[in-house]
Amino acid sequence: MLEFSPSDYSAILLSVRVAVSATLVSLPPAFAVAYAMTFKRFRGMLALDVLVNLPLTLPPVVIGYILLMLLGQNGWLGKWVLQPLGIQLIFTWKAAVIATAVVGFPLMVRAIRTSMEMIDRNLVYAARTLGAGWFDSIFTVIVPLSVRGLIAGSILMFARGLGEFGATIIVAGNIPGVTRTIPLAIYDYVSSPKGDAMAMALCLISVILSVAVLIVHEWISRRMTSRRA
């Protein structure tokens, strides 16, 4: 029988923690970007579209390196914003969250946009003529009607977060108990002799987590469908 070491357990917990945090952190900006791209016409829309979707096409390692240059001690965000505030991000679990959020962001925005594009603009107009202000109409019409996209986007982000490797290893490193997530732990086991069995065991954990996420997604969408009818 295989025994997980404390650092294996912490890798599993950390993976879940990073994926959940990245999802929660990304939801508000992803909603805002999806809203702007669906309902607004503005200059620089194409530029925003390209920027948001870039992480989908760039190798994660490149994203990690860009983040490192931005947030590192000599990066302009790191040097001029983070250091004066006394914030250290690189090689902490927070860096893993940022890496995961950036890599998963386009998936989340796409999922939210898909459900937002099905909202009839006249519903928002109806809400406005009924006395709802702009914020009111967002929270009582747009959020409830794009809730499917919000859930689908969160699931995609969470699942992507569980598997994030390339960007994470560059900005957060592979520190056992601090920034070592499941994929990093598997990488370690595979590259060490006699580590195959433990790698397999962690793979199994990954499979279980992914299946659980998909079941939860399916369950939520079925419940929503039956409630609508």
Partner 1 sequence: MELHVSARKQLGTFRLEADFTVDGSRTGVFGPSGSGKSTLLNLVAGLGVPDSGRISLGGETLFDSRSGVHVAPEHRRIGMIFQHAQLFPHLSVHSNLYYGYKRCHPAHRKIRPDAVIDVLQIGHLLKRGVANLSGGEKQRVAIGRAILSNPRLLLMDEPLSAIDASLKFQIIAYLKDTCAVFNIPYVFISHTLLEMRVMADRVLTVEDGCACRLVTAEDLARGATKDAGGYINLLRLASPARAGDVHAYQWGDRHLFIADTGEPPSTLFELPARDVILFKKHPEVISARNVFSATVVKTFDMGVRQGVELQCCSERLIAEVTKKAARQMEIREGAEVHAAIKALSFRPLG
Could you say whether residue 228 binds partner 1 (CB under 8 A)? yes
The token duo for 96 is: 């893993």
> How far apart are the C-alpha atoms of 70 and 80, rounded to whole Å?
10
Could you say whether residue 131 binds partner 1 (CB under 8 A)? yes
Could you say whether residue 130 binds partner 1 (CB under 8 A)? yes
Exactly one of 9, 125, 139, 219 binds partner 1 (CB under 8 A); that residue is: 125
**How many other C-beta atoms are found inside a 10 Å radius of the C-beta of residue 212?**
10
176: left (phi over 0), alpha (psi -120 to 50) or beta: beta
* Binding piece for partner 1, criterion CB under 8 A, among 44-52, 133-141, 171-179, 187-195: 133-141
The token duo for 153 is: 């986007």
- DSSP character at residue 74: T
Let me know if 190 is exposed, middle or buried by CB neighbors in 10 A (0-12, 13-18, 19+).
middle
> How far apart are the C-alpha atoms of 59 and 53, rounded to whole Å?
12
Could you say whether residue 136 binds partner 1 (CB under 8 A)? yes
Could you say whether residue 122 binds partner 1 (CB under 8 A)? yes
Kindly tell me which of 119 and 199 has the beta carbon lying closer to partner 1: 119
Could you say whether residue 129 binds partner 1 (CB under 8 A)? yes
Could you say whether residue 138 binds partner 1 (CB under 8 A)? no
Could you say whether residue 120 binds partner 1 (CB under 8 A)? yes
Contact positions vs partner 1 (CB under 8 A): 120, 122-123, 125-134, 136, 140-141, 144-145, 228-229
